[in-house]
Amino acid sequence: MAVTTGTTLDARTLRADFPIFEQLIHDKPLAYLDSANSSQKPRQVIDAMSEFYETSYANVHRAVHVLGERATAGLEGAREKVRALLNAPDVREIVFVRNATEALNLVAYSWGGNNLGPGDAVVVTELEHHSNFVPWQYIAKRQGADFVMVPLDENNELDLSGLDQIARDFNVKVVATNLVSNALGTIHDLGPLTRWAHEQGAIFVCDAAQAAPHMRVDVQALDCDFLAISGHKMCGPSGIGALWGRASLLQAMEPFLLGGHMINSVRYEKTTWGELPHKFEAGTSPIVEAYGLGCAVDYIEAAGLDAIEAHEHELVAYALGRLSEIPGITLYGPPADRRAGVVSFNLADIHPHDVAQILDRQGVAIRAGHHCCQPLMHKLGVAATNRASFYLYTLPEEIDQLADGLYTVRKVFA
Ligand SMILES: Cc1ncc(COP(=O)(O)O)c(C=O)c1O
């Protein structure tokens, strides 16, 4: 792979690492503009996982044989890579889960289930993915707590002007928000919200599912208490994600899932829990998936997270320019320098599913739908949008292919 430094990224060379691009789709080159949904995987990750299965696979933590030791080293090595990626103070604070959704559910159930009650409030924003909305809405209701939403202003930015009123009306215990919006690409300045949360004595939960693939995420600089990521969005395999949590909070929490591996001792009368992070990793781990995530971390670190972010800003600026020339288009979201590689749009009154289907015939893969953000869609006054999203392997000509495809869509519906 091409190793780059600073803010230059050789997307064309990196792209050659991704076997998926070696095929034609409907006899056209593949323009894969759906990376915010799930990213493609480089050969380095695919091959490393195959090799692991072929040479090092066994169950972890339980075996004294060589393969058990190798597999355990692979899993724990990956945990250290995720710790370093997030600048977490302690490797025991990295809990492997299936995905960001599971990480957020873990916090909602295990922390919220024991710390929320009548008179307390959970605060989320109108721009949350359902994964950081529904678990909190559910647990707040179940615990008799209030569920409060920070609204968006007319520019679809977080409107923090009502925070003082929320502080007067509620005993805020949790503030949960994303760092990068999957639907609009907005990169939030979370500083004011984090400070406000901590002034209220609340925990701050950061959904970094869309941030970690695209920019440097530092849990200490963010001053959050919990943070969730998904491996499949950052060049890693599906079925693996991570929760980072402050050790003091994780230690005080009840486990989420119960069974093998997460215990200290089991007696008829009483079971005690194991140490971090094992207390939250019941059952056999996603061993090779975790190892693959570690390899993906190596890959994006070698490409350079600053370089990836700069590359996406350039692509977004180019895409906004190209798409804004198309008659009838409505673009949603902030200026290019404040968003990750996401462009959401609607084309006249053509249903996004029709747009996406016609684009697919031209080799262009985008997502159409509500993007698991129905509160946002409600605010925008639409049922769905189209979303093109970019990553380190995205090339400007894919955006040209998208723009050309949209002209074709217009002709079809003329
Ligand atoms: C901002 C955000 N949060 C959470 C999630 C959930 O991720 P997963 O489906 O991997 O659990 C997504 C997925 O699209 C997302 O974009």
**Candidates 34, 38, 131: which one to mutate for ligand 1, based on the most atoms within 8 Å of Cβ?**
131
Question: What ligand 1 atom has the least distance to the C-alpha of 131?
Answer: 4
Q: Which CATH architecture has domain 48-301?
A: 3-Layer(aba) Sandwich (3.40)
Q: Distance between CA atoms of 391 and 186, rounded to whole angstroms?
A: 15
Atom 16 (ligand 1) nearest CA:
182
Ligand 1 centroid, distance to 325 Cα (angstroms):
31
Residue 149 pLDDT level (bands cut at 50, 70, 90): very high
Question: 349: left (phi > 0), else alpha (psi -120 to 50), else beta?
Answer: alpha
**Average pLDDT, whole number, for the chain?**
96
Helix (H, G, I), strand (E, B) or coil at 54: helix
Give me the residue label for tokens 């091959």.
47
Q: Side-chain half-sphere of 126: how many Cα atoms within 13 Å?
A: 17
- pLDDT of amino acid 7: 59
φ, ψ of residue 364 to 5 degrees: the values are: -105, 120
Percent of the chain scoring above 70 in pLDDT: 98
Percent of the chain scoring above 90 in pLDDT: 96
166 touches 196 (CB < 8 A): no
Question: What ligand 1 atom has the least distance to the C-alpha of 181?
Answer: 1
CA torsion sign, 49 to 60 to 109 to 106? negative
- Is a pLDDT exceeding 90 seen at residue 316? yes
- Is a pLDDT exceeding 90 seen at residue 236? yes
Bridge partner list, 178: 207
The CATH label, of 3.40.190.100, 1.10.530.10, 3.40.50.1860, 3.90.1150.10, for the domain at 11-38+304-413 is 3.90.1150.10
Ligand 1 centroid, distance to 352 Cα (angstroms):
20
Q: Distance between CA atoms of 56 and 53, rounded to whole angstroms?
A: 6
Domain boundaries, the chain: 11-38+304-413, 48-301
Q: What is the mean pLDDT of residues 387-391?
A: 98
- pLDDT of amino acid 208: 98
Taking alpha carbons only, the member of 263, 241, 197 closest to residue 82 is 241
Looking only at the bridges linking them, the beta strands covering 203-207 and 171-178 are: parallel
- pLDDT of amino acid 63: 77
Q: Which residues line ligand 1 (CB under 6 A)?
A: 99-101, 129, 131-132, 178, 182, 207, 209-210, 230
- Is a pLDDT exceeding 80 seen at residue 229? yes
Residue 8 pLDDT level (bands cut at 50, 70, 90): confident
Q: What is the 8-class DSSP label of residue 215? A: S
What tokens appear for 55 in the block?
């040479």
Atom 7 (ligand 1) nearest CA:
100
Q: Which of 206, 235, 372, 373 is catalytic?
A: 372
Ligand 1 centroid, distance to 100 Cα (angstroms):
6
Q: Distance between CA atoms of 124 and 111, rounded to whole angstroms?
A: 16
Task: Mark whether 372 is an active-site residue.
Answer: yes
Helix (H) / strand (E) element for 413: namely helix 396-413
User: Are both 11-38+304-413 and 48-301 of the same fold?
Assistant: no
Strand runs (DSSP E) across 112-202, as ranges?
120-125, 146-150, 171-178
- Is a pLDDT exceeding 50 seen at residue 57? yes
Ligand 1 centroid, distance to 184 Cα (angstroms):
13
Question: What ligand 1 atom has the least distance to the C-alpha of 128?
Answer: 1
Question: What ligand 1 atom has the least distance to the C-alpha of 207?
Answer: 3
- pLDDT of amino acid 4: 42
Ligand 1 centroid, distance to 97 Cα (angstroms):
13
- Is a pLDDT exceeding 80 seen at residue 1? no
Question: What ligand 1 atom has the least distance to the C-alpha of 371?
Answer: 14
Atom 14 (ligand 1) nearest CA:
37
* End-to-end Cα, the chain, rounded Å: 45
Ligand 1 centroid, distance to 412 Cα (angstroms):
33
Reported pTM: 0.97
Atom 9 (ligand 1) nearest CA:
101
- pLDDT of amino acid 242: 98
**Candidates 129, 238, 373: which one to mutate for ligand 1, based on the most atoms within 8 Å of Cβ?**
129
- pLDDT of amino acid 62: 79
- pLDDT of amino acid 6: 47
Ligand 1 centroid, distance to 137 Cα (angstroms):
17
- Is a pLDDT exceeding 70 seen at residue 16? yes
- Is a pLDDT exceeding 90 seen at residue 172? yes
- Is a pLDDT exceeding 70 seen at residue 408? yes
Secondary structure (DSSP) of 360-392: HHTTEE-EEE-TT-HHHHHHHT-S-EEEEE--T
Q: What is the mean pLDDT of residues 39-63?
A: 96
**Candidates 101, 104, 179, 181: which one to mutate for ligand 1, based on the most atoms within 8 Å of Cβ?**
101
Determine the length of the chain. 414
Q: What is the mean pLDDT of residues 367-378?
A: 95
- pLDDT of amino acid 14: 98
Q: Distance between CA atoms of 45 and 190, rounded to whole angstroms?
A: 32
- ∠ CA(125), CA(126), CA(132), 5° rounding? 60
Q: What is the mean pLDDT of residues 158-175?
A: 97
